Amino acid sequence: MKKRIFQKKWILLALVPFLVVTISACSLITKPYITNAGNNKIVNLGDSIFALSGRISDYLHSYAGKTFRRYATSGAELNGGLIEPSVYSQYTRAKNDYRTIDTIFMDGGGNDILIPATMYFDPYNCKVDWWESGLSTKCKNFINDIYVEAVTLFNQMGRDGVKNLIFLGYYNIKFGVIGTTALNPAVAYGNGKLSQAIANATAGPGYRVFIDPRSSITNSDIIIDGVHPSDSGSKKLATLIWNKLKYLPY
């Protein structure tokens, strides 16, 4: 964990001019938070899969007939990172805004992998090039650290009284302005670890489910950047979430 923090600090110093522009851009492409909703006890946390267009929320609100709170932020990493609020910080703000949270649907951890791989020259070696046989041990160890951070967060949610947790995993990305298929082995490994995190959270919510969207999302469901869902992709993801959420009080 200390090694990861040191690498991030070194990278930040080297790329400050570039990152200032990047962070400013991300702050402009996050849909406004929903801090007061029809049901304040259901909360959405995460990254730009939810926050870039906001269409997943739109579909879910139409299915439910009421709104839910949303704090997802484009560029957010699971814990810390250069773009705030992180998923950890989003959760803290959600609790401060309205303390009783029954259900959280979320994602997280994708930017922890994507941002270093695409903007920092892949320091964790998470891209698998054509001459490589599989995902590097260095990347697996990095994702294992993300797993620990995820379990810690889920355990805290459980101690705080959150009853239900629906975690949306990541789909395979395509070649685009940001995306590269060389990261899909990391997506597969990451989904496996995040699924384990949901299952292994000892103090986590009573109802916990991991959604793996890889079999549902095709290239046509992803916009030109290679990463984010199009309207059709957002509808598919919302439907996957709704198929779990609709059985809970909402």
| Percent of the chain surpassing pLDDT 70 | 88
Burial degree of 77 (CB within 10 A; 0-12, 13-18, 19+): buried
pLDDT for position 202: 83
Residues spanned by the domain of 216: 2-245
Partners of 105 in beta bridges: 44, 166
214 falls within a domain: yes
Dist CA 16 CA 121 (whole Å): 14
Which of 58-72, 135-149, 199-213 shows the lowest mean pLDDT across its residues?
199-213
Q: How many domains does the chain have?
A: 1
- Check if the beta carbon of residue 105 is closer than 8 Å to that of residue 168: yes
250 falls within a domain: no
pLDDT for position 223: 97
Where b means 16+ CB within 10 Å and e means fewer, 32-60 reads ebbeebebbbbbbbbbbbbbbbbbbbbbb
Which of 19-28, 103-112, 154-163, 241-250 shows the lowest mean pLDDT across its residues?
19-28
Find, among 4, 9, 8, 10, the residue nearest to 145 by Cα.
Answer: 4
What is the rounded average pLDDT of the residues 72-96?
A: 95
pTM, whole model, 2 decimals? 0.89
Residue 67 sits in a domain whose CATH number is 3.40.50.1110
